[in-house]
Amino acid sequence: MLGTKLGGSEMKKYLTLENGDVFVGEACGDLAAEIKGELVFTTNMTGYQENLTDPSYKDQIITFTYPLIGNYGISLGTSQSDQIQASAVVVREMTDDVFHYQSVITLDAFLKQQHIPAISGIDTRQLTKIIRQYGTMKASLTNQPVKATETEAAHEAEIVKSATRSVTDGKENEHVVVVDFGVKSNIVQSLQQRGIDVTVVTPESTFEDISALHPSGILLSNGPGDPQDYGDFLPVIQKLQDHFPIFGICLGHQLLALANGATTYKMTFGHRGSNHPIKDLITGEIYMTAQNHGYAVDIDSVKSSPLEVTAIEVNDKTCEGLQYPGRPVFSVQYHPEAAPGPHDAKPLFDKFIDLMHVNGGVH
């Protein structure tokens, strides 16, 4: 038996991959909804609510490799944005049997509420092996069988264009401007918890717009999609790094690299999960990190840029950290704010604050 029946439904759902493979399972979430998107997997054992609401997962079909999803429900204050960003969910087993005192709604009800379809009762281990072999690919989730040729390309995630907003507490604190490419709420909260005032701006902002806010530092956020789609903002980064301390996270890390002449590429199946080991090339330390990205910085291209590599992923040796020697500018490919994930890298926010103190903001 693959798991708890949700609402007694035995409606079929069909997951059709562009390579022709078809998985038939039980429909859950929004039963009527049908979607197309990019199929990815994450190895997180917990944190499905954070994953689903992470803007970096915008328009992607998320496969959870952990076999049981939904057992602690959905809680208030845990989401990383104001809505589910993923387009669909694939699980081995989804349950309505919730055991957590903070839960306010089941995962299935949460998906239904936001019109997100899901499929359960399939072999997610086999599906993950296919993704690892062929890479992330287009897929469709439908209520009737379809041909693989009907699984059209997923549309590219739109660049975030949210309005500039202030989330300061009104005190005389250090002031960070977060450039929002799809920022997770816990990045902002990680700064606020350290007494930092935060203003979040759109990537349509100019250098003059940001400079006029008199920041102590700039944080380039995470976000969805191909970093090369954000080319219009690269000249802004080039100016900002001449005047302010900068901390780039995930997509922000890739954009810092592009702005300095390095290149990026699409990975075969990316890094998504909370168990990626990183080696700090400066200290020699190894720590576990949370990651969610399908693109990476070409580590060889960094050699012809003014940047230097500061960290690598232990398993595949990909670039995980950069710094600009002589300037208070650095970035990481992973997520130091976790949510979900290990907390090994949280001190990077303190490092950023220390750089702002030393440099006094504009210098």
Structural domains of the chain, count: 2
Of 99, 121, 150, the residue at which a domain comes to its end is 150
Exactly one of 250, 271, 293, 319 is catalytic; name it. 250
Vertex 68 angle, CA 63 and 72, to 5°: 110
- 334 annotated binding-site participant: no
Q: Are 220 and 252 in contact (CB under 8 A)?
A: yes
CATH number at residue 277: 3.40.50.880
Residue 239, domain member (yes or no): yes
Q: Are 277 and 226 members of one domain?
A: yes
Query: Residue 324 annotated as binding?
Result: no
Structural domain of 339: 165-359
Domain end residue (candidates: 150, 184, 216): 150
The pLDDT of residue 224 is 92
Q: In the chain, what's the furthest Cα-to-Cα distance?
A: 64
As a whole number of angstroms, the distance between CA 90 and CA 67 comes to 10
In a domain, residue 73? The reply is: yes
Number of residues that make up the chain: 363
Inside any domain, residue 75: yes
* Euclidean distance between CA atoms 296 and 331, whole angstroms: 13
Q: What is the pLDDT of residue 168?
A: 54
CA of 1: how far to CAs of 85, 117, 120, 122, 298, in Å?
30, 22, 12, 11, 45
Regarding whether 353 and 288 lie in a shared domain, the answer is yes
- Of 175, 276, 293, 335, which is the active-site residue? 335
Pairing verdict, β 60-64 and 35-42: parallel
pLDDT in tens, the chain (363 residues): 233 344 444 799 999 999 999 999 999 999 999 999 999 999 988 999 999 999 999 999 999 999 999 999 999 999 999 999 999 999 999 999 999 999 999 999 999 999 999 999 999 999 999 999 999 999 999 999 988 766 665 555 555 544 445 555 545 578 999 999 999 999 999 999 999 999 999 999 999 999 999 999 999 999 999 999 999 999 999 999 999 999 999 999 999 999 999 999 999 999 998 889 999 999 999 999 999 999 999 999 999 999 999 999 999 999 999 999 999 999 999 999 877 767 777 889 999 999 998 876 433
Task: Let me know whether 229 and 348 are in one domain.
Answer: yes
Same domain, 173 and 289: yes
Same domain assignment for residues 208 and 302:
yes
Same domain, 68 and 186: no
Burial class (CB in 10 A: 0-12, 13-18, 19+), 113: middle
Nearest to 27 by CA among 51, 55, 8, 41: 8
The DSSP H or E segment spanning 290 is strand 286-297
117 in the same domain as 25? yes
Which pLDDT belongs to residue 340?
76
Residue 136 and residue 174 in one domain: no
225 is in an annotated binding site: yes
Could you tell me if 137 and 179 lie in one domain? no
- Residue 1 located in a structural domain: no
105 plus 202 within the same structural domain: no
Residue 70 lies in a domain: yes
Q: Is-catalytic flag, 250?
A: yes
pTM of the model: 0.84
In a domain, 2, yes or no: no
Has 223 been labeled as part of a binding site?
yes
Residue 309 within a domain: yes
Torsion of CA 108, 111, 114, 117, to 10 degrees: -120
Residue 251 marked ligand-binding: yes
Looking at 150, 181, 215, the residue that finishes a domain is: 150
Q: How high is the pLDDT of residue 147?
A: 80
Domain contains 114: yes
- The confidence score (pLDDT) of residue 79 equals 93
Residues 112, 224, single domain; the answer is: no
Q: Do 75 and 204 have their domain in common?
A: no
Nearest-5° Cα angle at 7, 115 to 65: 65
Give the Cα separation of 25 and 121 in Å (integer): 5
Give the pLDDT of residue 166: 53
Q: Are strands 246-249 and 217-220 parallel, antiparallel or unpaired?
A: parallel
For the domain that residue 99 is a member of, what is the CATH number? 3.50.30.20
Amino acid 16: pLDDT: 97
Q: Catalytic one among 18, 38, 320, 337? A: 337
Quick one: which H or E segment has residue 25? Answer: strand 22-29
